[in-house]
Structure 1
Amino acid sequence: MLTVDFGRLPVGPGNRVLDLGCGGGRHAFEVLRRGADVVAFDMDAEELKGVATMFAAMEQAGEVPDEATAETVTGDALDMPFDDASFDRVIAAEVLEHIPDDMAAMREIFRVLKPGGLAAITVPSFLPERICWALDEDYHTAPGGHVRIYTLAELGAKLKATGFVIGPHHHAHGLHAPYWWIKCAVGVNNDDHPLAKAYHELLVWDIMKRPAATRIAEALLNPVIGKSVVLYVRKPA
């Protein structure tokens, strides 16, 4: 399930791409499939072990184009172990809402990106996130949880103050917002509630099968209740 639109963030052979806060590696895997060199970066060393295993499995299955490379690096988004201007592209998907000093993280993204390079920054959308916070305090107070709710204007203003040129944006995962509202309404940690389980099964079916009906529904819902907003920015040349 990708949040970033790779039509707006083109990657390919010869590009070095940082997936910052990569989590399970969903965007890193897609970058590798497209032939770019990817660095999956996260502070969770255990999760990165799974990402590295998947990289190896992709190589074994012949899914990795010639010359493309992949590596995992453990570290802190506020002090990344990379030289200035190390990457052609940076992806930071659902990361900044977890970081108290978000502008320090933005400055690090700016630092490691090459002049003229592009970044895709995704955060939870304001309305769906605000509803989740209102329904269940545990949703955002758990350790490592979300520490802020962004408006698109605030996100853009902070990135612009960091030095980025602001580009286009879009929303994603409109079908996922109701799932999280249900989860928060019944208790975010209540994975056994029948309604939450049924909706989760629907989402898994949609991800696996991608039927036309749900694709059309999500396209209509995204501008209104898309769970994520994606902003594309450029470091001036």
Structure 2
Amino acid sequence: MLTVDFDQFPVGPGDRVLDMGCGAGRHAFEAYRRGADVVALDYSFDDVVAVGGMLAAMAAEGQAPEQARAGAVRGDAFGLPFADATFDRVIAAEILEHLPADEKAMAELVRVLRPGGLAAVTVPAWLPERVCWGLSSGYHSVEGGHVRIYRRDDLVGRLTAAGLEYVGGHQAHALHSPYWWLRCLVGVHDDDHPATKLYHRLLVWDMMKRPRLTRWTEQALNPVLGKSVVLYLRRPSVAAGPASEPGEAQAAAAAFAKLEESGRGVG
């Protein structure tokens, strides 16, 4: 299930993409399929191992163009292990709400994005998230849980202050909001409750079959009930001297060389 709309966030061969806080890797996999050079970064060692293994399997099975490269690394969003202006695209999907010092992560996102590059930032939308917090303290008051609820305009303002320009945005996954409200009502950590299992089956069916009725319904509900708010932003371009582009290319080459030397790079 993709939260970022790759029609609005174009990614293709030759693009250097960072999936910052990649989690299970869904956006990294899609960027790799589209031919980009992808670094999937997460603080969780288990997630890094799993995503790296999947990227390697995709390469072995020909699910990405041969010239594309991808790998997974463990890293901290507060101090990304990459040089300035390394990436053409940065994705930060459902990560900022977990970070106490989110302004540091925003600054790091901007630092590693090249001038003129694009960022996609997604967080839980205010209204669905507020309902979840109201229904269950267990939804957010756990280790690694959500530490804040963003209002869309406030988040845009903070990302703008960090050095990005707002390009556009939308909300996504309206059909998922009632699922999480239901989980909060019956027990957010109860994976075996019949009601949540039934709703989960519906969501899986919808993702696999994508029938017109549910697609139209979700599209109509997204502006109000969409579980995630998605923002697309650009780092403003600057006047480039003759040495700037080679410097960016060297930074990107160093990042992928580090992946390959560590044995986690593929492609």
Range into which the TM-score falls when normalised by the shorter chain? over 0.9
After superposition, what is the alpha-carbon deviation per residue over 1:144-197, rounded to whole angstroms, capped at 9, x for unaligned? Answer: 000000000110010011111111010000100000000001110111211111
Report the counterpart of residue 173 of structure 1 in structure 2: 173
Instruction: List aligned pairs for 1:67-106, cutoff 5 A.
Output: 67-106=67-106
Report the counterpart of residue 65 of structure 1 in structure 2: 65
After superposition, what is the alpha-carbon deviation per residue over 1:75-132, rounded to whole angstroms, capped at 9, x for unaligned? Answer: 1000010000000000000000000111110000000000000000000000000000
1:134 Cα deviation (Å)?
A: 0.2
Report the counterpart of residue 42 of structure 1 in structure 2: 42
Provide the secondary structure at the position in 1 that maps to 2:28: helix
Instruction: List aligned pairs for 1:8-157, cutoff 5 A.
Output: 8-157=8-157
* Equivalent AA in structure 2 for residue 148 of structure 1: R
* Equivalent AA in structure 1 for residue 228 of structure 2: S
Greater Cα shift, 51-60 or 22-31: 51-60
1:48 Cα deviation (Å)?
A: 1.2
Provide the secondary structure at the position in 2 that maps to 1:6: coil
Question: What is the TM-score normalised by the length of structure 2?
Answer: 0.88
* CA distance in 1 between partners of 2:160 and 2:110 (Å): 11
* CA distance in 2 between partners of 1:194 and 1:221 (Å): 25
* CA distance in 1 between partners of 2:202 and 2:226 (Å): 17
> Between the two proteins, what is the percent identity of the paired residues?
60
Report the counterpart of residue 185 of structure 2 in structure 1: 185
Equivalences, count? 237
Provide the secondary structure at the position in 2 that maps to 1:82: coil
Larger Rg: 2
Provide the secondary structure at the position in 1 that maps to 2:80: coil
Q: Can you give the 5+ residue segments of structure 2 that lack an aligned partner in the other structure?
A: 238-267
Asked if residue 162 in structure 1 is aligned to residue 158 in structure 2, the reply is: no
Question: What is the TM-score normalised by the length of structure 1?
Answer: 0.99
* CA distance in 1 between partners of 2:161 and 2:55 (Å): 36
1:66 Cα deviation (Å)?
A: 2.2
Greater Cα shift, 13-22 or 187-196: 187-196
* CA distance in 2 between partners of 1:175 and 1:61 (Å): 33
* CA distance in 1 between partners of 2:62 and 2:75 (Å): 29
* CA distance in 1 between partners of 2:192 and 2:42 (Å): 30
* CA distance in 2 between partners of 1:169 and 1:222 (Å): 12
* Equivalent AA in structure 2 for residue 67 of structure 1: Q
* Equivalent AA in structure 2 for residue 182 of structure 1: L
1:7 Cα deviation (Å)?
A: 1.2
1:16 Cα deviation (Å)?
A: 0.3
* Equivalent AA in structure 1 for residue 123 of structure 2: V
* CA distance in 1 between partners of 2:162 and 2:27 (Å): 24
* CA distance in 1 between partners of 2:181 and 2:211 (Å): 23
* Equivalent AA in structure 2 for residue 35 of structure 1: G
* CA distance in 2 between partners of 1:62 and 1:89 (Å): 23
Report the counterpart of residue 2 of structure 1 in structure 2: 2
* CA distance in 2 between partners of 1:58 and 1:150 (Å): 35
Asked if residue 225 in structure 1 is aligned to residue 230 in structure 2, the reply is: no
1:221 Cα deviation (Å)?
A: 1.2
* CA distance in 2 between partners of 1:9 and 1:236 (Å): 16
* CA distance in 2 between partners of 1:46 and 1:192 (Å): 24
* CA distance in 2 between partners of 1:157 and 1:13 (Å): 32
- The CA RMSD measured in Å over matched residues stands at 0.7
Report the counterpart of residue 198 of structure 2 in structure 1: 198
Q: Can you give the 5+ residue segments of structure 1 that lack an aligned partner in the other structure?
A: none
